[in-house]
Amino acid sequence: MRQVVLDTETTGLETERGHRIVEIGAVELVDRRLSGRRFHKYVNPQRDIDEGAQEVHGISSEFLEDKPRIGEIWSEFLEFIDGAELIIHNAPFDIGFLNAEILHVSAAGIETPQNIEEICQVTDSLALARHKHPGQKNSLDALCRRYMVDNSQRQLHGALLDAEILADVFLLMTGGQTQLFGSADAQDKAAEAQTDQQNLQVVDGFGLPVIYANAQELQAHEDFIALLAEKSGATPIWRKLGPQATSSNAEE
């Protein structure tokens, strides 16, 4: 299964007013694992950027002056996403802009499908989040907090960074495991685990000091067990073991 997590940044919010894409970022998932392949391009939109949009992503018209136009990167982009399931947060927005760019690409005489949906299945992660967490905030930042995904570098919106963060969120939200690193790192972790196990085996347990609970600590433990029983309305497992098991543990 091949999926591409994608995000765009734009000159403004409405394609109807001629706003265009200024950045595309995407990362590839294969069998729900990050493959390491990514697509990232800045694009010269050939128009001004709204002040509000620039405050969001920090990309200026001056920065984009020497960047390629959409037609120059379109074939490479289509090759990257072709046949994949696109994962996009608020997909109608990004797909709307990508499909609007097709008009400019076609006008330049570049071969392209009529819309992105012809070559890709599209999944809206925002719609998934709203279904899974109804009545809650489901912005990317809110989902990062909910799933404990580190977004500390997200001071400004950036297409590639947001795609990488969304990949982590999407995998967690849909019940999968993220693998942020490649197989080499996995092998390193396995080797470290084996080393740790070997180190544990050479520890001389008989030479370690044993510190027994004193009377005050034992009483505190009993008081805590009584509190558990009161709050839960059930008999704690320690009580079920009986006083003989407790006393034998204290005497060892």
Angle between helices 91-107 and 125-132 (to 10 degrees): 170
Please name which of 117, 131, 14, 8 lies closest in space to residue 73, comparing C-alpha atoms.
8
Can you tell me the distance from the alpha carbon of 117 to that of 98, in angstroms, rounded to the nearest whole number?
10
Q: How far is CA 197 from CA 96, 190, 203, in A?
A: 53, 11, 10
Residue in the structure block whose two tokens are 């200024």: 22
Q: Residue 157 catalytic?
A: yes
CB atoms closer than 10 angstroms to residue 97: 21
Find the catalytic residue in 19, 57, 104, 157.
157
Cβ contact 169:147 at 8 Å: yes
Count the helix, strand and coil residues of the chain and give each as a percent rounded to the nearest 5.
Answer: 50, 15, 35
Please give the helix or strand (H or E) that residue 243 lies within, else none.
Answer: helix 237-251
Please name which of 83, 98, 107 lies closest in space to residue 25, comparing C-alpha atoms.
98
DSSP state of 69: P
How open is the CA angle 69-70-76, to the nearest 5 degrees?
115
Residues with catalytic function: 157
